[in-house]
Amino acid sequence: MKSLVFAIVVCLFGQLHGDSVYKQRFLQQYNKMHDPANGYFSKWGIPYHSVETLMVEAPDYGHETTSEAYSYWTWLEAMYGKISGNFTGFNAAWQNMEQYIIPVHASQTGNNYQPWKPATYSDELDWPSEYPSPMQFGVPVGQDPIYQELVSTYGSDDVYSMHWLLDVDNVYGFGNLPGSCELGPQADGPSYINTFQRGPQESVWRTIPQTTCDSFKYGGQHGFLDLFVGDNSYTQQWKYSNAPDADARAVQAAFWAYTWANEEGKSSEVSATVAKSAKLGDFLRYALFDKYFKKIGNCVGPYNCAGGQGKESAHYLISWYFAWGAALWGGWSWRIGDGAAHFGYQNPLAAYALSNVDAMKPKSATGASDWQASLERQLEFYAWLQSAEGAIAGGATNTWNGRYGTPPDNVTHNTFHGMFYDWEPVYHDPASNRWYGMQPWSLDRLAQYYYVTGNQKAEAVLDKWVSWILSELKFDNGNYQVPEWLEWFRVPPEVHVTVTRRSSDVGTASATARTLSYYAAKSGNKNAKNRAKQLLDGVWKHQTTKGVSVEEVVDSYSRFNEEVYVPYNWKGYYPNGDVIEHGATFISLRSFYKKDPDWSKVEAHLNGGEAPKFTYHRFWSQSDVALAQGTTAFYSMNNDFGSVD
């Protein structure tokens, strides 16, 4: 009896001690990220993609920002609200997001959109061999079934969605400040830009960064348009594109802010922002449709595959992007969805919130029911793509090769609602399913959904995924290794995976720990809980003055001198005078990098030295660290982890 009492006291003490450790770690990391000396935010309060400027991965410069960084910021602030009881930061982050990365129209174009003909078909480019490809007229496209209800619900033609990329410090000098078009290098504020434009073969190293609002002031005779579209009539125009996983993550953050504020009796403090998240979710439905609103399923041959009526064009999965644009001076506008979906973008918790939580149901007539359909479809998708080992493979597409092509035999026997398995969805350099991070990013959301609802389909996928990852984590003396690269074999229902490279990356390790924590909190799986804590403690050893990070060797920086495809006889200029012409390279289009404090490291490598080493502080990764530690703090508090041994 006495020993039992003693055991209970030790147990309680251990738990309280554990809580405060993880809570302190969350606060310590949060404070580092908000310390102006550490450089996470611009003078407009915009989070940079990374503290470091010399950074090329998906963004081509560290002081750009992405909708991804914004979505992590809202989530970070939601958790700060839970831990401190102060939700002001969450509302402020959303406000900043709305101000700077949700575009307003660059000019009044009037209502020229024709929802029965949302866009004109053009092949995705098999760049550069068949480049540029002309638009093809006469290819059937479907109708946009949500436009009318969005206009009548919100009383505006504007799309309430994030553009994916901002040049925060206006280094390219386009000066596309919110609501403005090409104000130039003198403009003091964040500037909308785009990079990727040429289809799946294009790596960041081959991009030609371009303005989102093209008044032909920069670039060539037709601005940047004739680099990307083989049209004959060039019209001054603006266009934006959305990375739907980020908007979904912001919705997910709002769900947590709402839930946690409720727990603190403070729901009224966040209700205005939560309503905005429902609106974001309403427009995010564009991600659920085929690119040209064609019918979903066995859509082979651009001329053969019919356009969809009503919701026939909805695959209900969160696809890779959607985009919208218009002529600068009126006349026409367009919207497209995307027929290709990667498992890594799915977010069942956001879909659940938008269909089952009253405060977050979109106001439009069919918004909530579309998200209910999406929720069910996403759960089915994970199971369909699950490998024999447990990791989730690639994705599916309604448009083979981005041009409604004929898929190979090996993917035509077992389709997903008539969509084809795509082992490398959307982009190929590097392969989109190689990076391990997609696994915990997406499975964390599935685990959160499971934690909230106890859904059995989610549980079945997670049981298998968790046993896979537990077998692939390596621990040695308090150090850890998580997978970094994955390789895939065969097709569903018999897909296989192997881990081909490992690392101690703090971001993916933290996302893994958080997935395991949510899973353990619901299932009671002690092994998952203990491994989560081991990862969190391992990650925490990698303190830097600015956050938590490990040094990495960046092999890809050998590509700074790589040639970028520019057609012969094409010549144009960036606002700073950098010349765009045949023979241009990544660095020749970005002379500003030569003034970067870290440039000498890259230059030495280009001159034959070793690959450079960097200790990066990416906003998403630093947020993942904080969010994983914080999750453990309050699920221990709620005793969801069960007793501590």
Q: Residue 304 or residue 414: which is nearer to ligand NAG going by CB?
A: 414
Smallest separation, CB 518 to ligand NAG (Å) = 26
Binding residues for ligand NAG restricted to 585-644, rule: CB under 6 A:
none
Is 476 an active-site residue? yes
Of 82-90, 144-152, 160-168, 436-444: span binding ligand NAG (CB under 6 A): 82-90
Q: Which of 457, 490, 502, 605 binds ligand NAG (CB under 6 A)?
A: 490
Peptide bond into 47 cis (omega under 30): no
**Do the Cβ atoms of 243 and 67 come closer than 8 Å?**
yes
Residue type, 372: Q
Whose CA is closest to 486, among 468, 500, 470?
Answer: 500
Question: How many angstroms separate the CA atoms of 432 and 441, rounded?
Answer: 14
Q: Work out how close the CB of 99 gets to ligand NAG at its nearest, in angstroms, rounded to a whole number.
A: 16
**3-class secondary-structure state, position 325:** strand
Q: Give me the catalytic one of 476, 537, 555, 624.
A: 476
Which of 285, 266, 396 shows the shortest CA–CA distance to 350? 285
In the complex with ligand NAG, which residue's Cβ is closer, 390 or 507?
Answer: 390
- Angle formed at CA 574 by CA 603 and CA 190, multiple of 5 degrees: 90
Q: Which residues, 6+ apart, have CB-to-CB distance to 127 below 8 Å?
A: 198, 199, 201, 202, 565
For the CB of residue 47, give the shortest distance to ligand NAG in the complex, in Å.
14
Least Cβ distance, residue 19 to ligand NAG (angstroms) = 21
User: Taking the CA of residue 290 as centre, how many other CA atoms within 13 Å lie in the half-sphere pointing to its CB?
Assistant: 33
CB-side neighbour CA atoms (13 Å) of 82: 28
CB of 412 or CB of 558, closer to ligand NAG: 412
Residues touching ligand NAG: how many (CB under 6 A)? 8
| Unique residue bearing structure tokens 């403009």 | 187
Please enumerate in sequence order all residues whose Cβ is within 8 A of that of 363, keeping only pairs 6 or more positions apart, or say none: 153, 154, 278, 279, 282
Rounded CA separation 311/145 (Å)? 7
- Nearest distance, CB of residue 384 and ligand NAG, angstroms: 15
* Under rule CB under 6 A, residue 228 binds ligand NAG: no
For position 423 contacting ligand NAG by CB under 6 A, the verdict is: yes
**Minimum CB–partner distance for residue 490 and ligand NAG (Å):** 6
Euclidean distance between CA atoms 119 and 291, whole angstroms? 9
Q: State which residue, 86 or 588, has the beta carbon closest to ligand NAG.
A: 86
Q: Is 86 in the site for ligand NAG (CB under 6 A)?
A: yes
CA distances from 207 to 68, 129, 214, 215, 558 (A): 20, 16, 17, 20, 16
410 binds ligand NAG (CB under 6 A): yes
Q: Identify residues 535-564 at the interface with ligand NAG (CB under 6 A).
A: none
Q: Are 113 and 335 in contact (CB under 8 A)?
A: yes
Does 89 participate in binding ligand NAG (rule CB under 6 A)?
Answer: yes
| Rounded CA separation 615/622 (Å) | 12
DSSP bridge partners of 333? 326
CB burial of residue 106 (10 Å; 0-12, 13-18, 19+): buried
Which pair of tokens denotes residue 473?
């984590």
For the CB of residue 393, give the shortest distance to ligand NAG in the complex, in Å: 9
Site track for ligand NAG across 448-487, x = CB under 6 A:
----------------------------------------
Quick one: which segment of 2-10, 85-93, 152-160, 263-271 binds ligand NAG (CB under 6 A)?
A: 85-93
Q: For ligand NAG, give the closer residue by CB, 91 or 364.
A: 91
Is residue 41 at the binding interface for ligand NAG, with CB under 6 A as the rule?
no
Find the shortest distance in angstroms from Cβ 407 to ligand NAG: 9
Chain mean position to CA 278 = 18
Give the nearer residue to ligand NAG in terms of CB position, either 241 or 622: 622
How far apart are the C-alpha atoms of 485 and 496, rounded to whole Å? 14
Report the residue from 301, 408, 567, 642 that binds ligand NAG according to the rule CB under 6 A.
408
Q: Which of 44, 32, 40 is nearest to 69 (CA)?
A: 40
Residue 93 or 520: the one with the smaller Cβ distance to ligand NAG is: 93
Among candidates 78, 375, 97, 102, which has minimal Cα distance to 240? 102
- Between 78 and 511, whose beta carbon lies closer to ligand NAG? 78
Q: Nearer to ligand NAG by C-beta: 273 or 313? A: 273
Q: Which is nearer to ligand NAG, 266 or 417 (CB)?
A: 266
Q: Shortest distance, CB of residue 523 to ligand NAG, whole angstroms?
A: 32
* Residue 45 near ligand NAG by CB under 6 A: no
Rank residues 438 and 452 by Cβ distance to ligand NAG and give the closer one.
438
The single-letter code of the amino acid at 226 is D
In angstroms, give the least distance from the CB of 392 to ligand NAG.
Answer: 15
| By the rule CB under 6 A, 491 interacts with ligand NAG | yes
With contacts defined by CB under 6 A, name the span among 81-89, 440-448, 472-480, 517-525 that binds ligand NAG. 81-89
Question: Binding to ligand NAG by residue 366, rule CB under 6 A?
Answer: no
Q: Tell me: does residue 417 bind ligand NAG (CB under 6 A).
A: no
Return d(Cα 335, Cα 113) in angstroms, integer.
Answer: 8
CB atoms within 10 A of CB 240: 23
- Cβ-count burial 256-295 (b if 16+ within 10 Å, e if not): bbbbbbeeeebbebbeebbebbbbbbbbbbbbbbbbbbbb
Options 31, 88, 527, 561; binder of ligand NAG; rule CB under 6 A: 88
The distance of closest approach from Cβ of residue 198 to ligand NAG in the complex, given in angstroms and rounded to an integer, is 22
- Interacting residues toward ligand NAG by CB under 6 A: 86, 88-89, 408, 410, 423, 490-491
The residues carrying an active-site annotation are 476
